[in-house]
Structure 1
Amino acid sequence: MPEKVLVLWDIDRTLLYVGTTDRRVYQDAFARVVGRPAERLPARGTGVTMPLAVRELLRANGVTGEAEVERLADRVIELMPELLESRVPEMRQEGQVMVGAEAALRAVWAADALVPGVLTGNLRRSAEIKLGVFSLDGFVDTEVGAYASDDAHRPALVSIAQQRAAAKYGTRFARDNTVIIGDSLEDVRTGLLGGAKVIGVASGTVGARDLADAGADRVVADLLNPRLLLKSIADLTSAARREQKAGDAG
């Protein structure tokens, strides 16, 4: 039986796009907790985890003192999944599945050697809501994913996902057999620092050249070619295993 490879999908702008819903949820949560409207919102498409974005939101809107930021951040974060769920009809109307994403998900899901999970800056419940809205939740094993609710430091999520996958599938997962598929510079940084290969998808706010310059191991324009995606995964993990064996022999 071939060695398993863990494939960790980013969600926003890689698999789906929810329009302005996330930003409205930030606005709703801020107003409910702080008692006034937010004048500045987090930057779009950065891939930063939601807890860090919430802290940025509070500081950018005049909340001072780290103790106060932390206190209010906890309350905002607790509200986010509930507020997101209340906007499911809006997500269905304004959002969309990214081009080629469903076919790519199906291809990875159907490959015996691949374990498709999730690595996202969303909280777990928020991730499940988004995937469910667009009927993509059947093509990933959310039990072996890692989420912002696990750790706000995104590179730390790689080892969390690897440990969960190892416990479930009885296979060691490390850089040589773990691949992140994502659209942001943060996805690339996560792989470099966390211990995974990265396939950058130029479907978000970052162009193909910038993804490559940041250190993505492969870059594709979109997910329209599932065969190319599967080949890229196989090439990267095969090469990594050869490098590992050579290092061990040396």
Structure 2
Amino acid sequence: MLWNVDLTLVDVAIVTRDAYADAFRQVTGRPLVKLAPAMGRPDSEIIFETLAINGIVTGDDHLPRFIDALAVAFATKGRRLGKEGRVMPGAKDALKAVARLDGVVQSVLTGTIKSNAILKLKAFGLEKFVDFEVGGYGEEVYPKATLLQVAQGRVKRMYGFACGGANTVLIGDSARDVQAARIAGASMIAVASGRSTTAELHEAGADVVLEDLTDTPALVAAITHLTTPLNRKAV
């Protein structure tokens, strides 16, 4: 099971924007005027577009410097996450329920850089359900579909079993998540808790669309339906 983080499991948009503003000032020496919209994209892509729309000519060192600065800025605001952010409805119960399924490995496939993804989930006590070492993250400059396949390779190396389309399920809230799953050959459970509507998620090709994560039995039933009995170990 691969979970998207933002607007699927948690919402910490205010803190994230402030961290971007701090990182932008540190890297460029200028205040951030406009932040590129996330729209299911990785931090690496958001960083490049943010620099461009603010008139910064990028060099080879801009991305690694910005990622480092973003990690530091986000960590300094860690105490704000629990106060100004929120767990998405049903997310904790959903993670608990999936963790009880036999042979399931839970990780994340997120546009957020790894250190910040960990902090986002730790702020709400969700990290205990996730193996972060086999996930895919925003500092890895791959299209999300390729990043999904990278995560599958990590599971194979660490757990010793292959994760193909029959036993990989992505849960996310954006049409981009759906497109990534389709390209990578994984199953897709879309949750209409983000900026993509139910209709858009269906149109993008999601196997199952849920309004949110509050119906835990429906989520578990969808996972069981989408993974084959022969390959009950799933990521």
Q: For 1:228 and 1:106, locate their aligned partners in 2 and report how far apart those are by CA, in whole Å.
A: 14
- 1:29 aligns with 23
Structure 2 counterpart of 1:193, one-letter code: I
- 1:73 shift after superposition: 2.5
1:8 and 2:17 correspond? no
1:144 and 2:134 correspond? yes
Unaligned 5+ segments in structure 1 are 1-6, 242-250
Q: For 2:105 and 2:129, locate their aligned partners in 1 and report how far apart those are by CA, in whole Å.
A: 10
Structure 1 counterpart of 2:5, one-letter code: I
Deviations 1:52-80 (A, max 9, x none): 1000000010113xxx3443222111111
The normalised TM-score by structure 1 is 0.88
Structure 2 counterpart of 1:52, one-letter code: E
- 1:8 shift after superposition: 0.3
- 1:231 shift after superposition: 0.8
Contact residue 109 and residue 148 of structure 2 kept, 8 A: yes
1:203 and 2:196 correspond? no
Q: For 2:30 and 2:77, locate their aligned partners in 1 and report how far apart those are by CA, in whole Å.
A: 21
Moved over 4 A (4+): none
- 1:126 aligns with 116
- 1:113 shift after superposition: 2.7
The residue matched to 1:115 in structure 2 has which SS? coil
Identity of aligned residues (%): 37
1:63 pairs with one of 47, 56, 59: 56
Count of residues in Structure 1 that have an aligned counterpart in Structure 2: 231
Q: For 1:152 and 1:47, locate their aligned partners in 2 and report how far apart those are by CA, in whole Å.
A: 13
The residue matched to 1:180 in structure 2 has which SS? strand
Q: Structure 1 residues 50-59 or 182-191, which shifts more?
A: 182-191
Q: For 1:37 and 1:185, locate their aligned partners in 2 and report how far apart those are by CA, in whole Å.
A: 31
Q: Larger Cα Rg: Structure 1 or Structure 2?
A: 1
Q: CA RMSD in A?
A: 1.6
Contact residue 10 and residue 88 of structure 2 kept, 8 A: yes
1:40 and 2:30 correspond? no
Deviations 1:141-190 (A, max 9, x none): 11221112333421111111111111222211111110000001121111
Q: For 2:133 and 2:123, locate their aligned partners in 1 and report how far apart those are by CA, in whole Å.
A: 18
Contact residue 67 and residue 139 of structure 2 kept, 8 A: no
Unaligned 5+ segments in structure 2 are none
The residue matched to 1:155 in structure 2 has which SS? helix
Q: For 1:149 and 1:134, locate their aligned partners in 2 and report how far apart those are by CA, in whole Å.
A: 23
Contact residue 25 and residue 32 of structure 2 kept, 8 A: yes
